[in-house]
Every structure is written in structure tokens, then in C-alpha cells.
Amino acid sequence: MSATISGFSKLSKSEKIDWIVRHYLSNSKSAKQTITQYFNADQKLQQLHDEFIENTITNYYLPLGVAPNFVINNKTYAIPMAIEESSVVAAASNAAKFWMQRGGFKAKVLSTTKIGQVHFVFTGNFEDLKQYFNTIKSKLITDTKPITANMEKRGGGIIDIELRDKTEDLEHYYQLHATFETLDAMGANFINSCLEQFAKTFKTEADKYLSAPIEIVMSILSNYVPNCLVRAEVSCKVEDLKDKTISGIAFAEKFVRAVNIAEIEPYRAVTHNKGIMNGIDAVVLATGNDFRAVEAGVHAYAVKNGKYSSLTHAKIEEGVFTFWIEIPLALGTVGGLTGLHPLVKVALDILGKPSAKELMQIVAVAGLAQNFAALRSLTTTGIQEGHMKMHLMNILNQFNATHEEKEEIIQHFKTHTVTHSAVVSEIEKLRQ
């Protein structure tokens, strides 16, 4: 039976678990066993995980895999990926191997500027507001010096602050639109602290200069970072794309056409871009970054021209096939979970302790590789053949197949098409 409670956060972890089990879980004995079996035996490590968020009752695990053989700017990487979806790591690995033999991936960071805004309401004269902003701008920056000192020592900090008039969109609405460089930090706390100081100074000083008051609505960074851009690409001669089943030119033309469809058809573009994010999110998560922020920013970028479209592009010019992606990625390799979560430290170590810029390139390449693998399957054998073979183990585990049953069924489906019903049929045959 469901229930409400006051003071849940003040309960101990075991008391929280007992309350949840008692009021919300039908099979209390097995449910409690499931919850507790995911505890870390190392109490210090468990306490670290418990303190990442509030009201923790257990740990939620995702597999951490590795996709090897990625050659990026002539350097070889094994890329860690945290994801639950079958075939993602295998697809990335296959794409890496394919392009390793054709010159590898090229990537470069185009810019790293991040955005934050102070949103406010002002009912007075805009010219007066503009004059006040020009007067106070230097003090806005000076008053943040205690916050920006360490960042500035490393070469980052506040780049600029602009006053933006948004009254055509919303009555009396204006912004302080600020740009930042946060180097190897994602920089959310740094940016938000600066913005809140901007707002405090801006409102406090306004009484000396303006006849109408300034009402601060909110001060917050933006996860839309169209000027924090990275580009990744692969290219080779068209004839180098041939394999046993298709010529190089036939493959290239089908592939480019598939990308063109995603560029103009939003229903296809959403699924196309979701596949890209399979690769991107998996690396972002493995390296302790905020995949929700990345998702929001990337999908906003996909609609920057007024219509949701493909994040990747492809062309054939003078006998050369080129496939590329250009996306906004605000990532960090210091701060947040990057210095706390033991497996995040391992993941970054696997990558050679990259800078934020290098990580941006690696993540963009993972997305491009994932998209290449998906489109290669879609335009040749079809997506389901490879995906269902990878999904086979999930089906077998759903039916609690023994080790011997798994071995026999896997052998059978090396020469047969995998479908859910076909797997169930084979399990039933064996058990009869």
C-alpha cells in the first residue's frame, strides 16, 4: 500500500529501505534482498556513492565496456562506454576497426565558449538602462574577482557581458548575456556563481542610476552552447569502401542518400541522432560528465536552422567520400564526479588523462563512429541482423538459460536468424 511520510530525508539508509519496502513493494523479502545485494562491500566506497545524491537506498549499475582501436588524430585510443543497450559497444568497435585501416578519425575543437544569463525585468526607459549598463559593466566584472581568481590564473574566466533587449518577445524582459572560458572544467558552479554576483551588483547599484527598479528573475548558465563546438570526420577514396557484398561507389551513394534523408526528414532525423547519442552519452557518462546537459544542447543545435535535422553530413567529391559531425559539447575533466568517482578516474586514465578539448574530440568521434556503424548496417544488411545477435544473450537471460543451453543456442543462431520467438522456440525444444 502506498503512503506519504514527513522527514524521510532524516531517516537512516536502512530505515529508508524498510519504509519503501513496507509501503511500496509487494514482495518485501525479495525486494529488500535485491536492493541490498547492490551495496558495495567496501563501506568507505559505499559512503562515497551514498553522498553523491540525496535519499540513496542502493546503487544502480550500468555495464562499463571498452571500444578499442580508435585512431584519432594519429593517436590510438580505447574508449570507455557506460551503456545498457546491446550492440552499441560492438558497433563502435567495428567502426573504429573499419576506419583504423583507412586513416582513422580527424577531430578538432572549433571553439570553447560557454554561456550564462541573468534574466531580469525593467519597466523604465531602455536608453537609461543601456547607459547604466555601460557605466556598471566594469564593476560587474570586478565584483566577481574572488570567484574568478583561480580560473583566471589558469587562463580562463569571463570573456564578456552584453545587455540584450528581449522586449519584442516578452514585455519588459532583458538579459545580461555573459560568455565564459572554463578550460578543463565543465564550469557550471563557476558560471552560476559569477551570474549570481552579477545580479547582486546590477540590482544593488541600479538605485543610484535608474528611476525604475530592476527585478531579477533568475541567474543561470545555459546548456545551449553553440559556440563550444567540435568537429570530427573520416574520409577515404570511394573505392576503399568496397567489401564482399557491395562496391565502393554503390556503398558511398547509398550512405550519402541515407544521410540526406535524415537532413530533410525530422521523423528520420530524431532516430538518426538518437543513434549518434548512443555513442556520445555512453562516453559522457563513463567520464563523469552531465549527459542530460549534453543531450539538451545537442538537440537544440540540431534545430538551429528552424527544422530538426541530422547532426552528421556526408558527401562524395572528386572520388573521395567524407563523413563528418559538428556538435556543441561542454565537457570537463576536472571537478564534479571526475575527481570523486573511482571508475570515472579509471575511464579518464584509459583515455590518457585527456584535457577537456581532447575529451570533446573523443566524444564527437564516438558519436560519428556509432552513426557510421548504424548507417552501414541500415544501407547493407539491415539493422536487425547484427542487433538481434547481440540481443540474443538478453533473451536467454530472461528465460534463465543455463550455461549449456546458452552455448547450444548461440551455436544454432550462428546460421539462423535471431528473433524473440525463434529463441523461445529453441529453448523450449532443448527443455523438452
Is 127 exposed, middle or buried (CB count within 10 Å of its CB: 0-12, 13-18, 19+)? exposed
290 noted as active-site residue: yes
Is 375 exposed, middle or buried (CB count within 10 Å of its CB: 0-12, 13-18, 19+)? buried
274 noted as active-site residue: yes
Q: How far from each other are the two terminal CA atoms of the chain, in whole angstroms?
A: 41
CA atoms within 13 A on the CB side of 4: 1
Give me the phi and psi of 396, to 5 degrees please: -60, -40
Categorise residue 342: left if φ over 0, alpha if ψ from -120 to 50, beta otherwise.
Answer: alpha
Task: Collect all residues with Cβ–Cβ distance below 8 Å to 388 and sequence separation of at least 6.
Answer: 417, 418, 419
Query: Pick the catalytic residue: 341, 357, 387, 391?
Result: 387
265 noted as active-site residue: no
Query: In whole angstroms, what is the distance from residue 246 CA to residue 35 CA?
Result: 50
Query: In whole angstroms, what is the distance from residue 301 CA to residue 392 CA?
Result: 36
The answer to whether the beta carbons of residues 386 and 377 sit under 8 Å apart is: yes
272 noted as active-site residue: no
The answer to whether the beta carbons of residues 316 and 351 sit under 8 Å apart is: no
Query: Pick the catalytic residue: 18, 32, 49, 85?
Result: 85
Is 210 exposed, middle or buried (CB count within 10 Å of its CB: 0-12, 13-18, 19+)? middle
Query: Pick the catalytic residue: 290, 341, 357, 358?
Result: 290
Query: Where does 143-265 have alpha helices with state H?
Result: 145-153, 188-209, 248-264
Query: In whole angstroms, what is the distance from residue 296 CA to residue 224 CA?
Result: 7
Query: In whole angstroms, what is the distance from residue 105 CA to residue 242 CA?
Result: 19
Residues in the chain: 432
Answer positive or negative: Cα dihedral of 197, 200, 204, 210: positive
Q: Which helix (H) or strand (E) holds 379?
A: none
Active site residues: 85, 274, 290, 387
